[in-house]
Amino acid sequence: MGALLKMTQIETKLLLRDPATAIMVVALPLFLMTIFSLMPGFNEPFDGFGGESVVDTFIPGVTTVVVLSVLGLSVMPVYLATYRERGVLRRLAVSPASPWLLLAAQLLVNAMLAIAGVALMTLFAALFLDVSPPGNPGGFALAFLLATSTALAIGTLIGSLASNSKSATAIGLAVLFPLLFLAGVWSPVDMLPGTLSTIGAATPLGAGLAAIRATWAGAPRSQYTCC
Amino acid sequence: MPIIEVEGLTKRYGDHTALRDVSFSVEEGQIFGVLGRNGAGKTTTVECIEGLRRADSGRISVNGLDPTRHSAELSSTLGVQLQDGALPDNMKVWEALDLYSSLYPTPLNWRELLEEWGLAEKRNARFGKLSGGQKQRLFIALALVGDPRVAILDELTTGLDPQARRDTWSLVERIRDRGVTVLLITHFMDEAERLCDRIAVFDKGTVAAVGSPDELMGRAGPRQRVSFVPSLPISDEDLNGLLGVEAVVRDGDQVTLHGSSDLLQAVTTSLARREIVPVGLSVENTGLEEAFLALTGEERSR
């Protein structure tokens, strides 16, 4: 337990010392929220979203999913593959540490970063952009944690398969963009053509975005459990 | 009882046989050299000992443990400095020691190691900013932080300048002086000759010879060469009768004697007694390098 705490502390420090990543995770959602709230019409009631505005329903969910999937599918696998490429994993392999120790620390650090990024985004949007916070906070937290775990799980797989940082970046992006598209980040999943919409709803990020959007809008549990 | 025993180790990669029937044993408290060219099988052997690689056949015992079956227990009795190991560039020196000390059941005080290995001034420096020598000292400190019985040092001085190499040699002796058995992997003859109590000479995946540097040099041939032109004639019998002389070679007036390393003294004393002056006297110690070439059956470069 002491070792896990120490490893997590150090991985946190290392992540914060690499300011590009930390700034991106914190600044990207604020930037996206601001841009979208300035878009003409996004603050107006929209028929497609049952009379709610786009900024109040669609955008927070999309921003949340973009943040957690960039962290899970790009940042973490590239970190792990860089460790492998540089020999950091080899050095650790000849110590008594179990490989789980580093993986657990990486998962914790990235989950914390995702939570921080999304919490800040929610606060910022509520204070400065007049976006209502999640209508079903418990449900939102659950949906968010499940979606984050899913993205991190896929990222762990990529990080374990990629032999170096270049291939991790390539695989990560090759998985990230189709998944974001199918999740309906660019256009809501229910507006995708028939088959794509069915596939999209079944992808991890598609299901995640649906649950996150629904709980942000305040739907009770019965309405966002599909099937 | 040996602390490391390797018996009949064999490892193949496809058609290529990396190790063939490799056997040696290391006594506790020694500096044991694993000497050979690049590609001779040194690193593969050591990776099998560390448990990073599994041999196709053969038996390894380190402190009574089998690396393939007891890797967890083994890694807390082994301190390893890897040829291609690294730390994250942004990790600070003290953080690395703090982290690695938390991984071992009975760690040493890493603050003392920091002092001992001359890293105190660099405690807040990031790994990526350290010089080659500083990185090596940090890796040695990391290898020792778990209070190991055996330290494995792989190509410790490769890439260091001559002064840093010599400094590192005294560090290796300090590790042994702490009572830690050292397995030193190197392709530098002078390093092995200077540091090692015993050496396994690797050649094309096999162990060509095992012994102390003196034994290896003795096995390979004469250890000192003394050349001179005698001021008065002296017969081969007289020269051969001198203590330590093993061979006499004449080239015109010039006489070259091959023999043990105390040859020079015997020759000069005896010549002085006969009032013969050795003109143009030169002495050459034939080192481990020559022995290595002879043992591995390579062409002599001269």
The pLDDT of residue B298 is: 53
**Whether the predicted pLDDT of A1 surpasses 90:** no
- Which residue out of B91, B99, B183 would a mutagenesis test of the A interface target, given it has the greatest number of A Cβ atoms within 10 Å? B99
Tell me what ipTM this predicted complex has.
Answer: 0.83
Per-residue pLDDT reduced to its tens digit, B86-96: 999 999 999 99
Considering only alpha carbons, which residue of chain B is nearest residue A17?
A: B90
Percentage above 90 pLDDT, chain B: 44
Q: Is B86 on the interface with A (CB under 8 A)?
A: yes
A97·B103 Cβ contact <8 A: yes
Which is more confidently placed, B99 or B264?
B99
Candidates A17, A87, A91; nearest CB to B90: A17
B103·A96 Cβ contact <8 A: yes
CA distances from A151 to A129, A146, A156, A164, A186 (A): 28, 9, 9, 20, 18
Gap from B203 CA to chain A (nearest CA, Å)? 26
> Which of A82-91, A106-115, A189-198, B159-168 comes out lowest in average pLDDT?
A189-198
A3·B103 Cβ contact <8 A: yes
Confidence of residue B301 (pLDDT cuts 50, 70, 90): very low
Q: Which sign, positive or negative, has the C-alpha torsion A167, A171, A177, A183? A: negative
Interval B65-72 mean pLDDT: 87
Gap from A115 CA to chain B (nearest CA, Å)? 24
The pLDDT of residue B220 is: 65
* Calpha distance B59→B67 (Å, rounded): 9
**Whether the predicted pLDDT of B112 surpasses 70:** yes
* Calpha distance A148→A204 (Å, rounded): 10
A86·B98 Cβ contact <8 A: no
Mean pLDDT of all residues belonging to chain B: 87
Q: Tell me the sheet residues that pair with B126.
A: B92
Candidates A2, A18, A96; nearest CB to B90: A18
A96·B100 Cβ contact <8 A: no
**Whether the predicted pLDDT of A222 surpasses 70:** no
Gap from A97 CA to chain B (nearest CA, Å)? 6
The pLDDT of residue B221 is: 62
Per-residue pLDDT reduced to its tens digit, A33-76: 888 888 777 777 766 666 667 777 788 888 999 999 999 999 99
- Please list every residue in chain A whose beta carbon sits closer than 8 Å to the beta carbon of residue B102: 2-3, 6-7
Per-residue pLDDT reduced to its tens digit, A105-139: 999 999 999 999 999 999 998 898 888 888 889 99
> For B189, how many CA atoms within 13 A lie in the half-sphere containing its CB?
12
Per-residue pLDDT reduced to its tens digit, A175-205: 999 999 888 887 766 667 778 888 888 888 9
Q: Which residues in chain B (232-291) have CB-CB distances under 8 A to chain A?
A: none
Residue B285: other Cβ atoms inside 10 A: 12
Task: Count how many residues are written for chain A.
Answer: 227
Q: In degrees rounded to 5, what are phi and psi of residue B228?
A: -165, 170
Q: In degrees rounded to 5, what are phi and psi of residue B207?
A: -90, 115
Q: Which helix (H) or strand (E) holds A113?
A: helix A99-128
| pTM exceeding 0.90 | no
**Whether the predicted pLDDT of B300 surpasses 80:** no
A95·B75 Cβ contact <8 A: yes
Per-residue pLDDT reduced to its tens digit, B6-45: 999 999 988 888 999 999 999 999 999 999 888 889 999 9
Which is more confidently placed, B55 or B245?
B55
Residue A60 · residue A216 · CB < 8 Å: yes
Residue A125's identity, in one-letter code, is: A
Confidence of residue B127 (pLDDT cuts 50, 70, 90): very high
- With CA atoms as reference, report the closest residue to B268 among B255, B281, B252: B281
B86·A10 Cβ contact <8 A: no
